[in-house]
Structure 1
Amino acid sequence: MMKFTKWNFIFLLGGIIVYIADIGVDFWVASKYFYQGQYFWAVLILCFRGLSSLVTQIFSYHWFKNDWNGTHPGKLDWIFLVHFFHCGIFIRYWFALKYGCQAAFRQDSSGDVSETDPPNIIQKQAIDVLTDINMLRVFKTFLETTPQLFVQIYVLMEYNNHNFYQYAAIIISFCGISFSMVDYQISLRKSLPDKEELEALPKLVYLFYKLLTITSWILSISLITLLSVRSSVIVLILLWSCGFAWTLKQHTTFCKSKEMEYLYRTVVGIILLFTFFNIKGRKTKAYISIYYATHTIVTVGILLVCLFWKPAVIEKVHLTIVSGLAVISLVLGLIFLAVYYKYFHPTTYCKQRTFFDEVDRRGGDNMEVGRFQNFIMQ
């Protein structure tokens, strides 16, 4: 298992600031829509915020419940109360700061970790709580940030009302989505004992692969929404159904209860609308090829429909510029994807370390296998 470093602690502090700022930005954007008389979009922005918060609180509380396994019944009561008021993420950040400070700066404090605990236990606690936070951030990203971004782009093109705050919010959202995926990939690899951390260049290639492919897809869906909202909804529901069916076929075992597992599969289906997400830790070459081949076909189909179907609403949003950005982003994104898997994928770029084989694991190794051992996102 890799170490929780001082840099990780600094980025953790930055993550708390960004999370609080993101809440303020959501209400700021909604207030702008209210001020302009676009009440529907303002309410929709807030609904996405409420939905993502509800789902993340549910997962966060159940993770606390599973991890403590009845050992802290009194604490679970106030943990539930805090999550009920949608503040559960701040408890997780508090634990991350507590364990992260001990792991990074070797400070001891009265609590779950004492000076008698071996250093690897302290490191594991810090890394596990950070991985949980980044997993919740991924859920939030695709339940809130991505739909909000889609709404902002649609409103920008539909009403041709260009404001600085709209451009700023769109750019920040695109970057936030990509960085959340990279942060999760990094923390997930830290939590797995047989994985080594990627260096700066592979992380950068991975970042551009995610940023460009997601940008192309959101621009394409925004264009078809301008043509027909009904068609856009049908396409999204169809693609979500395919993603959800795939999770059912994979027989995921991320959650301990059947209800939570189906909620997890539903959320993963939404994530798969926008980017590839490996949920079983298996080889992904075939799956990822099918996934992006499908996205390419759908994107090209959308652009062809827009090209031959030229109503006034499409002509006024500079179809050439938007479609050009979608095509360029898609091509560059696929290039970065190919480069990443050819030269920088962990199985190629890193020398894998194996601490134990399957026989050792079944033989009663003391290392605890957490929920993130069930899969790894590539």
Structure 2
Amino acid sequence: MESGSFSGYSWLDFSFSVVGVCTFLLDWCSDLWLAREFYCRGELLWFGVLLSLMLLSSMVVQMFSWFWFRYDRELPGFIQQAAGEGRILCADRGRVFCLLHVLQLGFLCRHFSAIRQGFRVWWRKEEGSEYAVYLTHDLSMLRLIETFCESAPQLILMIYVMLSTNQARTVQFVSVAASTMSIAWMVVDYHRSLRSFLPDKAKQRWGPSLIYFLWNLLLIGPRVGALALFSSVLPVLIAPHFLLLWLVFVVWVWKQSTAFMDSAGGEWLYRATVGLIWYFSWFNVAEGRTLGRSLIYHSFIAVDVVILLATWWSYRDPVQSRAYGLILIISLPLAYLLGLLFKVLYYRCFHPKLFRPPDREPRLPHDLPDADVTFRSLSVQDVEPVPLLLNRRMASQAARFYPARRTVETSDVTS
């Protein structure tokens, strides 16, 4: 990987880190507020479900964070930069960092470490840009995991509670808004993190990120809505439905021979987490062309959404749902279809096409439009000998999201 392929730390990176920790804290505060409301009103079942979601999500995120810290301690130059950053990630403080993860504070500690290091690099103009970028890439992936482990299931719970009681309190609206904000921010932040591995990050436009955000929102929203509607009429079947699909997805991930983590235990944690993400949204985990896998996934999810909505329509209370029933049964499938159209639009018009002309140097990034850029394949073999402090985890994700096409003639590239 050429060093020029990576942009330095900027004020926008720092802003994303600050907004990210604010969003995380807002989401957790709204969750605790809602849990208190459930407990005070004697709704102990929903109180227990909400706390279980929060605890499960936190444990999964802390496990990923701890695994990555153990891997990163072996990287040349990582400990030196981490020790200079804030003394909490240095080798001699490994036990302290382990304790923070046991106390479920490791993720929050990473947020503050990224802000501290980003402030030193951007405002004080100190060294450590590579380490600051490294931290932001990890946070982007951890936020994605936290979102689908906690925010998406919580949205289902909140919508289910409002449907089953036929009323909504202020705290419920706040919790739904916070979870929606968390999901939306995660989508943009994760996409931006992947795009930072492309050349000339500073000149890239926001149009592709907007389209990426829209098609994810329009696909995830109807999925969450259909699951909430189904659970409102047959709540005892939502858990078996999840477990059955999750097991199918985990087997599918395993069959694709993923290699994201550096240990067998960590890899199975990753596969189990991807199975959970796939329950809500598509997430590419293997190299090569993804069209076939994406078609299979979206066809399967579309059929499942139709079945869920049909079941809800059959078992719903016609009187209670009279105000919104017909609107939902029409708008949710249409929104999902619109999301698929936005996804096709993104891949047709905005997804970078990575060409490698065979007999000459590629054109400079600023000579290419945003939809036609060139960068070297991001494989582990390419990353290994590079002296940069490169986040191989997100580099591998970027390589899967922006796979290099087959070699083409120069005339095809320049035409």
Q: TM-score, normalised by structure 1?
A: 0.87
Which stretch shifts more, 352-361 or 60-69? 352-361
Which stretch shifts more, 368-377 or 58-67? 368-377
Correspondence for 1:21: 26
Task: Classify 1:358/1:13 alpha carbon distance in 2 versus 1 (closer, same or farther; 3 Å).
Answer: closer
CA deviation map 1:158-215 (0-9, x unaligned): 111222332332233223212202201211332x366857521111111111111111
Residue 353 of structure 2 aligns to a residue whose secondary structure is: helix
Count of paired positions: 365
Alpha-carbon distance between aligned partners in 2 of 1:360 and 1:22, rounded to the nearest angstrom: 39
Q: State whether structure 2 residue 191 is matched by structure 1 residue 208.
A: no
Correspondence for 1:96: 114
Q: Which runs of 5+ in 1 are unaligned?
A: 114-121
Correspondence for 1:374: 396
Q: In the alignment, residue 139 of structure 2 is paired with which amino acid?
A: I
Contact preservation (8 Å) 2:217, 2:339: yes
Correspondence for 2:99: 81
Correspondence for 2:239: 233
Contact preservation (8 Å) 1:53, 1:86: yes
Alpha-carbon distance between aligned partners in 1 of 2:378 and 2:310, rounded to the nearest angstrom: 51
Shift of 1:300: 1.8
Shift of 1:105: 3.5
Alpha-carbon distance between aligned partners in 1 of 2:306 and 2:200, rounded to the nearest angstrom: 37
CA deviation map 1:18-66 (0-9, x unaligned): 2222221111011122232211111211111111111111111221111
Contact preservation (8 Å) 1:220, 1:323: no
Contact preservation (8 Å) 2:188, 2:209: yes
Correspondence for 2:56: 51
Out of 270, 287, 290, the position equivalent to 1:264 is: 270
Correspondence for 2:343: 337
Correspondence for 2:150: 144
CA deviation map 1:275-311 (0-9, x unaligned): 0101134322222222111111111222233344455
Out of 179, 189, 198, the position equivalent to 2:195 is: 189
Q: In the alignment, residue 354 of structure 1 is paired with which amino acid?
A: F
Contact preservation (8 Å) 2:9, 2:122: yes
Contact preservation (8 Å) 1:45, 1:148: yes
Out of 37, 43, 47, the position equivalent to 2:42 is: 37
Q: State whether structure 2 residue 21 is matched by structure 1 residue 3.
A: no
Q: CA RMSD in A?
A: 2.7
Q: Which runs of 5+ in 2 are unaligned?
A: 1-5, 80-89, 355-369, 402-415
Q: Calculate percent identity across the aligned residue pairs.
A: 26
Out of 170, 174, 182, the position equivalent to 1:164 is: 170
Q: State whether structure 2 residue 223 is matched by structure 1 residue 217.
A: yes
Alpha-carbon distance between aligned partners in 1 of 2:253 and 2:380, rounded to the nearest angstrom: 28
Q: State whether structure 2 residue 305 is matched by structure 1 residue 284.
A: no
Q: In the alignment, residue 19 of structure 2 is paired with which amino acid?
A: G
Q: In the alignment, residue 219 of structure 2 is paired with which amino acid?
A: T
Q: In the alignment, residue 3 of structure 1 is paired with which amino acid?
A: G
Alpha-carbon distance between aligned partners in 1 of 2:182 and 2:271, rounded to the nearest angstrom: 23
Contact preservation (8 Å) 2:14, 2:118: yes
Shift of 1:355: 4.9
